[in-house]
Amino acid sequence: MRAAVARRPRWPRVLRWLCFLALLGSFLGAAAIASLFYYYSRDPQLPSVASLRRYEPQAVTRLYDRHGLLIGELSTQRRSVVAYSKIPKLLVQAIVAAEDADFFRHGGLDYMGALRAFFANLRAGRFAQGGSTITQQVVKTFLLSPERTIRRKMQEIILARRLEAELTKEQILHLYLNQIYLGHGRYGVQEASRFYFGRDVDKLGLAEVALLAGLPQSPERLSPFKHPQRAKRRQRYVLKEMFKGGYITESAYKQAVDRPIRVASNSRPYYNVAPEIADVVQSHLAKAFGAESLSRLGLRVQTTIDAKYQVAARQALQWGLRAIDARHGYRSRLSHQPPSKRAAMVKRLARTQGKLVDGGYYRGLVVAVNDGDDSVTVNLGSTRAEVAVDDPRYNPEKHVASKRFAIGDLIAVRVRGGKYVFDPGPQGAMIVIEPKSGDVLAIVGGYEYQRGGFDRALRARRQPGSSFKPFVYAAALQSKRYTPATIVEDAHFVVEGWSPKNFDNDYLGPLRLRVALARSRNTVAGRLIKAVGIEPVKQIAQSLGISSPLSDDLSLSLGSSSVSVLEMAAAYAAIANGGSYHAPNFIARIGDDEVKRPPAHEALPPALAFVLTSMMQSVVREGTAQRARGLGRAIAGKTGTTNDQKDAWFVGFTPQICAAVWVGFDRPRTLGRKETGAHAALPIWVRFMREVLKGTAKLAFPQPAGVVVERIDPDTGLLARPDQPNAIEEVFIDGTQPKQQALRPNDVDPNTILMGPGVP
């Protein structure tokens, strides 16, 4: 009997087959991966990593006032690019420890992590896992779309290897640290450092760099402002990784871990106080560098704006407009109708108002008050409408609708773009200029100006009314036929079919020119332009910077040609500057370069400018602008009011500052009874000046050579007698002073009226 043969175990054969299959699978997997790499690497649309040698990111252009205070920014992304050499070594180590511990050892890829992510994504059929190195994040940010597909992941891996061959590790980190988003709209470590800590990145310590390094994972969720506890936990993790990586000592680690997070208050008291100047700067930079380059400039622009003046100007204008609102009941009820009269009122509205058209103003009866959405429902006769009442200009106390309106109130509304809104009320504008330089210290384009809006200070053209008269008087003085003491008749006259009338319809008879200007007599201005000619007046106005078209008729003397607030401010600033005109300047420096300015030119001889200034001081001392006397300063200026009180002006100056104020509706209509330049515009000017002149020296206008002072008889304008008790002092351009002495009262011919030469 044969012995039984032992059967060989089957498991070695199974093991061999398993090994073979594993090797085959690995080979096929590697071949598949190699094929994918080969396929995607030959993609002609694959971006070139060489382009990253030319790093031109979007960057913030910051705007500063003349004292270096930040007042605005131009940006689509808030980023300030900083050189790699300026980035602290600790921050680089913190970022590497938190985001990519092997960054300085790998060739762009964490192979094990990438392999795990690849198979997970392959199984899922989509992008499900990351595993990206810093190099891959740079590729993803700069060169690829944000889509999550296997194709894009393969491209990312390919480009990461190419980038490592193209750039050094330091260059890759430079791109990463300047480009990365770190929360609150801040991009790059420099911008984030300024935002979170109020310092440049090269001034940060260990605890601070660890906080920054923790943010890339989820900037908003880990924000120390929004979520300080999460931010602290993430900071501790980064510090622990830095310690494990040997970047910091145990002592430094413990000290930083125990230190509470300290972030900047982020207080920027003057940020965005001048959106008007931001628009001006943007326009200038677009012309200088091209509009397509604006987002990448990253410049420091020093403007001529004085932030404190800007704040004072806006506050004064808003205060003045609210005062007009209150005087005329804008956004308040016109009357209240008792229940017995409401039906009849609705019928009357339907009958008298007819079809409602866009841009029209109509009355409506309040039939419902809605506190929930701060609105009222009004019956306009032919329709009903919802009208919002939540505008802070007319409701600064933030009262609910029922605190301001009741059913039965009659209110005025406007149709605008198919919607029914309250009358927007009057608007205004203000420009402040430093006479000696032409620098614009403040610019206010409206009650609440928004970037890109209609800047009334620069773009609106409105009739200046009597504020144009100083140019007429300057032409008269320039002719050497007139002086402040010349007597001219304030009386009704007609010339070439034109008959100027005084605002008060009163006529005062013979007046010295100084008095006529102070009291803003229209007939005297009309007589002067007729005598000296329209062209000399236009030439003086244009020499003083009035570039808007000026009419060729006598009504020019009363300000019938429309001009801008900027033009008027610059013209008066030239008078304040002894007749020397500086073109208005908004920008002092761009980067390290001063902005070139056109040279100043003599618009008026200094002696003439001084005499004219002296006459304009009488407007304040005894004329239409007496409200400004309370400032106790040397002030010269002129009020202006147009027909039906559609425009109200005051333009005035001290030796240091010139400011122009305009008030009116965007679509010209009356501001209301008595809303003259003295009542609507001048108070704004006074309030502004009272604020900005606090603590400054009280200066007088310097008297130049070529000016003489004489004692004159106030009734005749002739030289006063030596013993005359009512004599007054008057200033003259040398050579134009009177030569004849006034007669004694008993010697005067009562039928003689002394007139200026050539005056009708």
Q: What are the pLDDT digits (tens) for 639-672?
A: 999 999 999 999 999 999 999 999 999 989 999 8
What per-residue confidence (pLDDT) applies to 139? 85
Comparing C-alpha atoms, which of 361, 391, 355, 390 is closest to residue 374? 390
Q: Check pLDDT > 60 for residue 491.
A: yes
Q: Check pLDDT > 60 for residue 590.
A: yes
- Residue 557 a catalytic site member: no
CA distances from 452 to 275, 281, 455, 558 (A): 8, 12, 8, 33
Q: Check pLDDT > 50 for residue 754.
A: no
Tokens 């061999």, located at residue: 16
Out of 57-71, 349-363, 509-523, pick the least confident.
Answer: 349-363
Q: What is the pTM of this model?
A: 0.82
Comparing C-alpha atoms, which of 370, 341, 411, 98 is closest to residue 236? 98
Out of 110-119, 205-214, 236-245, pick the least confident.
Answer: 110-119
Cα four-point dihedral sign 172, 175, 179, 183: positive
Write out pLDDT tens, residues 670-694: 998 889 999 999 999 999 999 999 9
The percentage of the chain sitting over the pLDDT mark of 70, rounded to a whole number, equals: 89
Q: Which two tokens stand for residue 125?
A: 């059929």
Q: Which residues pair with 636 in a beta bridge?
A: 653
- Rounded Cα distance between 544 and 451, Å, is 30
Q: Which residues pair with 419 in a beta bridge?
A: 416
What per-residue confidence (pLDDT) applies to 673? 86
- Rounded Cα distance between 512 and 486, Å, is 5
Write out pLDDT tens, residues 78-93: 888 999 999 999 999 9
Catalytic residue of the set 99, 164, 208, 675 = 99
What per-residue confidence (pLDDT) applies to 37? 54
What per-residue confidence (pLDDT) applies to 140? 86
Out of 127-141, 154-168, 284-298, pick the least confident.
Answer: 127-141
Write out pLDDT tens, residues 232-258: 999 999 999 999 999 999 999 999 999
Q: Which residues pair with 563 in a beta bridge?
A: 462
Write out pLDDT tens, residues 375-419: 999 999 888 989 888 888 888 788 888 988 999 999 888 888 888
Dihedrals phi, psi of 169, to nearest 5 degrees: -60, -40
Q: Check pLDDT > 70 for residue 748.
A: no
Over residues 481-490, the mean pLDDT reads 96
> Regarding predicted confidence, which is higher, 35 or 623?
623
Q: Which two tokens stand for residue 506?
A: 């009163």
Catalytic residue of the set 193, 223, 295, 466 = 466
| Confidence grade of residue 159 (pLDDT, cut at 50, 70, 90) | confident
Q: Which residues pair with 439 in a beta bridge?
A: 434, 585
What per-residue confidence (pLDDT) applies to 670? 92
Over residues 257-275, the mean pLDDT reads 87
Quote the radius of gyration of the chain (alpha carbons, Å): 38
Amino acid at 220: E
Which part of the chain has CATH 2.40.50.140? 333-422
Out of 213-222, 499-508, 547-556, 672-681, pick the least confident.
Answer: 499-508
Question: Contact 236/98 with Cβ under 8 angstroms?
Answer: no
What per-residue confidence (pLDDT) applies to 758? 44
Q: Check pLDDT > 50 for residue 704.
A: yes
Tell me the HSE value of 629 on the side-chain side, using a 13 A CA sphere.
11
Question: Contact 100/138 with Cβ under 8 angstroms?
Answer: no
The percentage of the chain sitting over the pLDDT mark of 90, rounded to a whole number, equals: 64
- Rounded Cα distance between 94 and 240, Å, is 10
Question: Contact 363/347 with Cβ under 8 angstroms?
Answer: no
79-258 CATH pick, 3.30.429.10, 3.40.462.20, 1.10.3810.10, 1.10.340.70: 1.10.3810.10
Comparing C-alpha atoms, which of 667, 619, 645 is closest to residue 324? 645
Length of the chain counted residue by residue: 760
Over residues 619-644, the mean pLDDT reads 96
Please, what is the Cα angle at 570 between 311 and 316, to 5 degrees?
25
- Rounded Cα distance between 373 and 381, Å, is 23
Q: Check pLDDT > 90 for residue 56.
A: no
Q: What is the CATH number of domain 310-330+425-464+562-697?
A: 3.40.710.10
- Rounded Cα distance between 503 and 521, Å, is 8
- Residue 99 a catalytic site member: yes
- Rounded Cα distance between 533 and 528, Å, is 8
- Rounded Cα distance between 110 and 468, Å, is 76
**Alpha carbon 121 to chain centroid, angstroms:** 50
Which part of the chain has CATH 1.10.3810.10? 79-258
What per-residue confidence (pLDDT) applies to 116? 59
Residues contacting residue 677 through CB under 8 Å, at least 6 positions apart: 465, 466, 467, 624, 639, 640, 641, 648, 649, 650
First to last CA, the chain: 161
What number of other Cβ atoms are within 10 A of residue 733's Cβ? 21
Which part of the chain has CATH 3.40.710.10? 310-330+425-464+562-697
Dihedrals phi, psi of 170, to nearest 5 degrees: -65, -40
Average pLDDT of the chain, as a whole number: 89
For helices 534-543 and 469-478, what crossing angle results, to 10°?
110
Q: What is the CATH number of domain 333-422?
A: 2.40.50.140
Most confident region among 347-361, 373-387, 511-525 by mean pLDDT: 511-525
Please, what is the Cα angle at 133 between 132 and 134, to 5 degrees?
125
